[in-house]
Structure formats: C-alpha cells, structure tokens
Amino acid sequence: MGAMLHLRLITPPDRTDEVVRLIEKTVGTTHLVVLPGVARDPGGDVVMCDVAREAGDELLAGLRDLGIDTTGSIAVESIDLSLSERADKAEADAPGEGADAVLWEQLTEATHEESTLSVTYLAFITLATMIAACGVVLDNAILIVGAMAVGPEFGPLTGICTAIVRRRPRLALRSLIALLVGFVAAMAVTVGFSLFMDAVDLFSEHQLRADRPNTGFIYAPDWFSFVVAVLAGIAGTLSLTSAKSGALVGVAISVTTIPAAANAAVALSYGDTKQTWGSTEQLLLNLLGIIVAGTLTLLTQKWFWAKQRRRI
C-alpha cells in the first residue's frame, strides 16, 4: 500500500472553493488540480489532489462534513509510486508515519464487505471446517494449518471491533449475523460430512478418541489459548489498519477458531459431549479474545491519531 493517496472528487460548483480551501489548509497535500465544469454524472467540477496517507483520514472527514459524499463523489486510490519532490515534502510534513495511519472510512468499507453473509463466505467457512475435520480425525497438523488459512471468519470479527469503536450498530449486527450463521452452517454441514465419512469407513470414533498429540489442544482450552487469541487480534487489526496487510494470513493461521468448530462438529456426530463442549469453549474463548484485543487496538489507534492532530 502506497504512502500517498490520490483523491478524485466531483464537487457542486458552489462547493468547489470550500473544497479547495480545505485541501490547501490540510497538512500533507499536494498536486492540486481543479477542472471546472467537466463532470457530467453528477454534474459539477472535478478536483484532484494527492495526500500523505497519514493525513488522509482528516481530509476525508472534512470532505464528508462538507457533504461531498452525498452531493458529489469521493474516490480514493493508493499511489504505488510517486516521483515528486512535492510528494516527498507533503509526506514529511504530515504527522506520524504512513504505515501507521488509519483510514477509518476505508476500514469501515473493507469490514462491511468482508462481513457480508454471502454464498462465497459460507462456502469458504464450510470448506475450511470440513478440511479441519479431516485434520482432527487424522491428527494432521498440515490440514489444520490449511483450514486456518482458508477460513474467512476474521472479516466479521474485525467488523464487530470496528462497529464498536465507530458506533455503527448496523455493521455490528451484520458482522455478528455473518459470524454466527457462518459457524452454525459450517458445523451443521460438517456433522453430515463426518457421518458420511464414517459410513464409508474413512472416519471412525476410535480415531477421534485416540491420543492426538498434534491436535489434542483443540478441545482443551486454557489461558494460553486466550493469550494467543489476544495477540492474534492485535496483529490482525494492525494488519488491516496499516500498510502491512500481508501479515493477515499469518494471523489467520495462529488462531484455532475453524479447527475448534470442526472438532466440535465431528465429536457431536459421535455423541462425544466432552470433546464437543471443550471445542466449543475453545472457539468462544478465541472469538472473545480477538474481539476484545481488536477493539482495544482500534481505540488506542483512534486516541493516538487524535493526539497527533491536536499537536499539529
């Protein structure tokens, strides 16, 4: 993700001067272009500029206060390469570091999309749970890691955290529904999958109840599991809000939400209530740890950037 952002705005003619003044007084902006009367749908002026990532959230908030998102249009793109001394100066003048900056509008939009209860989301979480079911029965750590990487549940979890911090009840409800319905559907399908695999002699109750040194931790929750979930929640949230989004895959592999759901489903198909309850506890403990850590991380970032703006 680039350190500079490119903004393309369509503004009503009577608001263009206000928009230009806002851009000019925002620390970290450059390359301002105004094209009067060229926009057709909606009609108006086109205003373009580049802004340092760490100053982007303040500028976007100001533009929304002017109503440009309702009377015109706001489009934001990341600039991968900008060869300009003015851009270098704008980035140096802006407070903080671009990699640490939080674009709240971008985060809200991303979590809204990732927390949508869609056919694709249900397919991924169900397939991940079925893969994990094979992993827990075979005591195969590779399959468990693969299932963790496939699982899409981190999207709704960050959606809940973002909704709490930004006070967006609709986003919270949307994310909660996606999370609960996703896991319930995935576990129900996995119960049927386990019964089918047992019927064709590929799963057995003996395999589930046998010693499983590689996957036995999945149904034995403890405080260590909660600590790992908290650390993963912090890392995952930082990967979404900063320019280091590539770290998210590693976070997904570190938390046993999908494997715990899979073990609970397989154990339920054999009537093993001890493993079912233990796995369910593990699942709930990890979900709680991620939500608490993610929310606190966002609150900390919000406080930090508010302090940076006051200082400037």
Question: Cα dihedral angle (224, 225, 231, 234), rounded to 10 degrees?
Answer: -150
Q: What sections of the chain are H helices per DSSP?
A: 16-25, 53-65, 68-71, 85-93, 104-114, 119-138, 141-150, 154-166, 169-199, 205-209, 223-241, 248-254, 257-269, 273-311
pLDDT digits (tens, 9 = 90+) for 157-199: 989 999 999 888 999 999 999 999 999 999 999 999 999 999 9
CA distances to 29, 36, 42, 72, 78 from 10, in Å: 18, 10, 7, 5, 18
Greater confidence (250 vs 156) lies with 156
pTM (predicted TM-score): 0.79
Q: Enumerate domains of the chain plus CATH numbers.
A: 4-101 (3.30.70.120), 107-308 (1.20.1080)
Residue 96 C-alpha from the chain's centroid: 23
For CA atoms 161, 239, 310, 10, the dihedral sign is negative
Task: Name the band, by pLDDT with cuts 50, 70 and 90, for residue 1.
Answer: very low
Please tell me the least confidently modeled range out of 31-40, 66-75, 113-122, 235-244.
Answer: 235-244
Neighbours of 48 (CB within 10 A): 15
The angle formed by the CA atoms of residues 154, 173 and 110, to the nearest 5 degrees, is 45
pLDDT score at 269: 93
Q: Which helix (H) or strand (E) holds 49?
A: strand 43-52
Q: What is the rounded distance in angstroms from the CA atom of residue 54 to the CA atom of residue 92?
A: 10
Highest mean pLDDT among 48-52, 82-86, 102-106, 254-258: 48-52
